[in-house]
């Protein structure tokens, strides 16, 4: 419903920042992502699938619209996006993933699916500090130093725009939650997505104190054990070649 927004300007990534990765073992598929979601969920038992959303929620929303019955197959939807006290990173009020397609986010949030949200409030606590990067460089494999190099370039490219928050890790926070949920703390709250206001479109309106008395619909995390998170990350990366 809105023009597509992408993040090249934020990441400022160049070919020098990328690893030489092997070609994927699975060839490019002709099936649309929405149809893949529907087919996969339809073949699953009720309440058995954990779905991770690391970007805008367009495809998930379209799957719910096209085949509403698939929502019942989802045990938990873990969303990297939104913010409460941290507010926005693409506008004063909105986080990027929600802002890109707030109408899709509204559909997903209102779907009744069990949702856990990992917002900027959490990811901005996960800073790749120099000592943490140094630990990755000493892992003795190819992966550790390569990840440290990527994170160093990521921070360097964004430092001028957002300062120390350029060191934050976002997407890995979702997977870490699934592997070790005890690292995270939050509360059950009501979240609504603003889709109308030109000033605040894409804002996650988090009723942290329950003042609206609206029904809770999201497990919203707001703190994380950053030391434990980086210990987990280092432990997992150490197992790779």
Evaluate whether 174 touches 78 at the Cβ level (below 8 Å). Answer: yes
Q: Which residues are catalytic?
A: 170
pTM > 0.85: yes or no = yes
What is the separation, in whole angstroms, between the first and last Cα of the chain? Answer: 43
CA angle 64, 50, 172 (to 5 degrees): 110
**Residue 161 in this model has a pLDDT that exceeds 90:** no
Domains and CATH numbers, the chain: 31-125+170-223 (3.90.245.10)
State the average pLDDT over residues 124-131. 92
User: For residue range 70-98, what is the model confidence (pLDDT) as tens digits?
Assistant: 999 999 999 999 999 988 989 999 999 99
β-bridge mates for residue 80, sequence order: 118
User: For residue range 9-65, what is the model confidence (pLDDT) as tens digits?
Assistant: 665 555 555 666 667 899 999 999 999 999 999 999 999 999 999 999 999 999 999
Q: 70-87 burial, b if ≥16 CB within 10 A, otherwise e?
A: bbebbebbbbbbbbbebb
Q: Is the dihedral of CA 76, 78, 83, 84 positive or negative?
A: positive
The share of the chain scoring above pLDDT 70, in percent, equals 90
Q: 1-29 burial, b if ≥16 CB within 10 A, otherwise e?
A: eeeeeeeeeeeeeeeeeeeeeeeeeeeee
| pLDDT at site 163 | 63
Strands, sheet with 184-193, edge to edge from the N-terminal-most edge strand: 49-53, 74-80, 115-118, 218-224, 184-193, 204-207
Q: In this predicted model, which residue has the larger pLDDT, 145 or 153?
A: 145
Q: Please give the structure tokens belonging to residue 156.
A: 């360097």
């Amino acid at each position: 419903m809105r023009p597509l927004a992408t993040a090249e300007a934020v990441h400022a990534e160049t070919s020098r920042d990328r690893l030489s990765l092997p070609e994927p073992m699975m060839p490019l598929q002709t099936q649309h992502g929405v149809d893949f979601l529907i087919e996969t969920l339809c073949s699953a038992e009720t309440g058995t699938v954990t779905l991770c959303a690391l970007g805008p929620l367009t495809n998930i929303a379209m799957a719910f619209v096209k085949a509403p019955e698939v929502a019942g197959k989802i045990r938990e939807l873990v969303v990297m996006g939104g913010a409460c006290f941290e507010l926005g990173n693409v506008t004063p009020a909105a986080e990027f993933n929600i802002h890109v397609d707030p109408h899709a986010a509204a559909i997903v949030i209102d779907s009744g699916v069990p949702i856990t949200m990992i917002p900027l409030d959490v990811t901005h606590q996960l800073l790749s500090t120099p000592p943490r990067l140094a630990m990755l460089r000493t892992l003795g494999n190819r992966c550790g130093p390569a990840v440290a190099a990527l994170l160093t370039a990521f921070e360097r490219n964004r430092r001028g725009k957002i300062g120390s928050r350029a060191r934050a890790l976002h997407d890995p926070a979702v997977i870490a939650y699934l592997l070790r949920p005890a690292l995270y703390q939050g509360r059950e709250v009501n979240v609504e997505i603003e889709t109308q206001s030109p000033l605040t479109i894409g804002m996650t309106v988090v009723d942290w104190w329950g003042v609206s008395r609206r029904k809770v619909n999201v497990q919203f995390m707001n703190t994380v054990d950053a030391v434990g998170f980086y210990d987990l990350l280092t432990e997992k990366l150490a197992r790779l070649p």
